[in-house]
């Protein structure tokens, strides 16, 4: 990550320097009324427009880096908590039901409204269209699990046991699979963005 930030910072600095240089040159040529100066001024205008497109692309890459890094940082931690429930069988015993009644409900709540919500629900992934759709599907599934758990009264352990075996256990496995796919896609996209930044930096040397 530090290498990427260094590359990006360098590109931003170089970009500002180039834009300032172009502006200074345009001011000079605008004060000169000869035909050659007008031609040079037109070329500088075209260069300014092209470089503005380049700057917007660099800005987009910066947003994509932030969005990918958010997922790459949060998902492994989320999976550690998720793993607590992986070994609970379809027909849990009394101690396992206590875990589901307490820790599982807290985990789902944290994913939607607390610690993990910043990554899964409060970050906009509109600059990563493929990941945005994957996140939307993940959100819908985890909200459904939350609804299913909240419909079961705390004291109704038999109902919780039945629901766990019939649907919730499988649904929990699906969101784990979704999270792994999102993490893989985020890491792949991050590498692609880093490579593009490096190429951009090289082209300006």
Residue 144 in tokens: 């459904």
Picking from 1-5, 49-53, 151-155, 171-175, which range would have the lowest pLDDT averaged per residue? 1-5
Largest CA distance in the chain: 91
- 138-149 per-position pLDDT tens digit: 999 999 999 999
Whether 131 and 183 have beta carbons less than 8 Å apart is answered as no
**Tally of structural domains, the chain:** 1
Per-residue pLDDT, averaged over 157-162, amounts to 97
User: Where does the pLDDT of residue 26 fall: very low under 50, low under 70, confident under 90, or very high at 90 and above?
Assistant: low
Q: Which domain holds residue 36?
A: 2-203
Length, in residues, of the chain? 205
What integer pLDDT is reported at residue 15 of this predicted model? 58
pLDDT at 1 over 50: no
Per-residue pLDDT, averaged over 155-177, amounts to 97
What integer pLDDT is reported at residue 39 of this predicted model? 61
Q: CA 143 → CA 48, 50, 84, 113, distances in Å?
A: 48, 45, 19, 11
> Buried (b) or exposed (e) across 85-109, using 16+ Cβ within 10 A?
beebeeebeeebbeebbeebbebbb
Per-residue pLDDT, averaged over 174-189, amounts to 96
User: Where does the pLDDT of residue 196 fall: very low under 50, low under 70, confident under 90, or very high at 90 and above?
Assistant: confident
- Collapsing DSSP to helix, strand or coil, 150 comes out as helix
- 95-130 per-position pLDDT tens digit: 999 999 999 999 999 999 998 999 999 999 999 999
Q: What is the pTM of this model?
A: 0.77
What integer best gives the mean pLDDT of the chain?
83
Cα separation, 187 vs 63, in Å, equals: 15
Whether 120 and 142 have beta carbons less than 8 Å apart is answered as yes
Cα separation, 25 vs 39, in Å, equals: 13
- Collapsing DSSP to helix, strand or coil, 147 comes out as helix
- 42-90 per-position pLDDT tens digit: 666 666 666 666 777 777 888 888 899 999 999 999 999 999 999 999 9
Residue with structure tokens 């993490």? 183
What integer pLDDT is reported at residue 205 of this predicted model? 53
What integer pLDDT is reported at residue 116 of this predicted model? 93
């Amino acid at each position: 990550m530090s290498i990427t930030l260094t590359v990006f910072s360098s590109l931003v600095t170089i970009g500002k320097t180039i834009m300032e240089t172009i502006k200074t040159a345009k001011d000079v040529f605008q004060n000169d009324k000869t035909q050659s100066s007008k031609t040079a001024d037109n070329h500088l205008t075209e260069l300014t427009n092209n470089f503005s497109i380049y700057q917007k692309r660099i800005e987009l890459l910066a947003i994509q880096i932030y969005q990918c890094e958010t997922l790459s940082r949060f998902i492994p931690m989320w999976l550690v908590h998720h793993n607590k429930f992986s070994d609970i069988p379809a027909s849990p015993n009394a101690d396992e039901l206590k875990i589901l009644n307490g820790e599982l409900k807290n985990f789902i709540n944290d994913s939607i409204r607390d610690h993990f919500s910043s990554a899964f629900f409060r970050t906009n992934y509109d600059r990563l269209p493929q990941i945005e759709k994957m996140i939307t599907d993940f959100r819908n599934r985890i909200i459904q699990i939350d609804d299913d758990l909240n419909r079961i009264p705390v004291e109704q352990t038999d109902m919780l046991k039945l629901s766990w075996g019939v649907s919730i256990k499988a649904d929990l496995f699906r969101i784990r699979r979704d999270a792994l796919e999102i993490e893989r896609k985020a890491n792949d996209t991050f590498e692609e963005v880093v490579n593009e930044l490096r190429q951009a930096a090289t082209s300006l040397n």
